[in-house]
Amino acid sequence: MTWTETLRTAWEALNGRRMRSLLTMLGILIGIAAVMLTVGLGEGARLQIGKEINKLGSNLLIVMPGGSGGLSSGLSGSGSGGFTLSDAEVIADPAIAPDVAGVAPIMTSAATVQYGTADTSTQVNGTLPAWVDVRARTLAEGRFFTDAEQSSAAQVAVLGPETARTLFGQEAPVGKEIVVSGQSFVVIGVLESAGSASLSNDDDVLVVPMSTMAQRLSTPASALTIGTIYVAARDDASITAAHQEITNALTVNRQTTTADQDFSIFTFQALLSAANTMTGVLTTLLGGLAAISLIVGGIGVMNIMLVSVSERVREIGLRKALGATPKLIRRQFMVEAGILGLLGGALGVLVGLLGAAILTPLLNLEVTLSLPATLLALAVSLGIGIVAGVYPAARAANLPPIDALRSE
């Protein structure tokens, strides 16, 4: 019997028991689709996290008060103790930290902002003109404040796009006067969107000169307290050197030692690495759980093939009596099992692709499916079918012809 005849016979056998074959393939289908979507979601999440972190600046370092603490607390400007302007100045000194390209300390508070009858509560950041470059932000309208405005404590403000939309709607904000905690400010610019998936909502923010923040919008106790210092290294290759220079500068300026230093430095490269590790572990865990359904599907294929062997005992005996060797009988049943696995895998891939197309807009997260992974899924489904068919095929091949022909 040729391979063509074997394939035709296997197809006829499976087609003759169509409902049973479809139900058997269902386990493989669900397993392949689940693994594809789980891995695709994990890869999509990893790429999205990397994209959002890179938006914040791959060469960015964040210096926060406190020897320990989470990144989220630093981004919101909280922490124990805080920094002073001299801490930022010593980091910005090229003689002390030559690998630092820019420094942007920020003071942060919440405030109510009003324009006409509209009002909103938002985060107010007091910082220096270098902030826009250090944070790699661009402006959609207007301009950022200047060194002269910082020196004179000018009452000017730059709005985040979400804040501008809430206050002004479709009206152009630049040049308009707003009221921040009872103080009048002139809007001189609107930032481009930083993306809603970033680590903090940098679209709902109001940025003013640090001197203005200290004199107009802060209590006397917090007027000179800086919550976070953003530092831009010269380039990605300078991050390690800049990290060490900042550590040395602050250790001397704050009169601490390495053992009891009261600040922490975070890099987004380290954050990206940690995020990739976390998503990798979660993807592996969820993928492993999804793969259990593949094992169940393989057991289903084996079970159905054993039932098929029991039902076709007389057919097997007749074939052996007509000269079919155990090898041909074994091949016949393994081909049938392989077809079940391959068709189940192909349908699973189609369901996986359809699921990815549905989930991407639904979750606002791209489900990343690669061609190598898809081909691997097909190969795995074929392999599961063949492996599941080994024992039933061996059992069929070892049936004695006389006993098989006697079977009713």
pLDDT digits (tens), the chain, 408 positions: 677 887 888 788 888 888 888 888 888 898 888 888 888 888 888 888 777 766 666 788 989 887 654 343 333 333 445 888 889 999 999 999 999 999 999 998 889 999 999 999 999 999 999 999 998 889 999 999 999 999 999 999 999 999 999 999 999 999 999 999 899 999 999 999 886 544 567 889 999 999 999 888 875 555 557 889 999 998 888 888 999 999 999 999 988 887 788 888 888 777 777 777 888 888 788 778 777 877 888 888 888 888 887 777 777 777 777 788 888 888 888 888 888 888 988 999 999 999 999 998 888 888 888 788 788 878 888 888 888 888 888 887 787 766 655 655
* Other CB atoms within 10 A of residue 237 CB: 10
Alpha helices in 76-201 (DSSP H): 85-92, 131-134, 147-151, 161-168
What pLDDT does residue 17 have? 82
What pLDDT does residue 147 have? 94
State the DSSP H helix or E strand holding residue 110, giving kind and residue range, or none if neither.
strand 100-115
Give one DSSP letter per residue of 265-279, joined into a string: EEEHHHHHHHHHHHH
Taking each continuous run of H as one helix and of E as one strand, the counts in the chain are 14, 10
Q: At residue 23, what is the residue type?
A: L
Six token digits for residue 396? 């069929």
Whether pTM exceeds 0.85? no
What pLDDT does residue 1 have? 62
Could you give the CA distance from residue 314 to residue 334 in angstroms, rounded to a whole number? 18
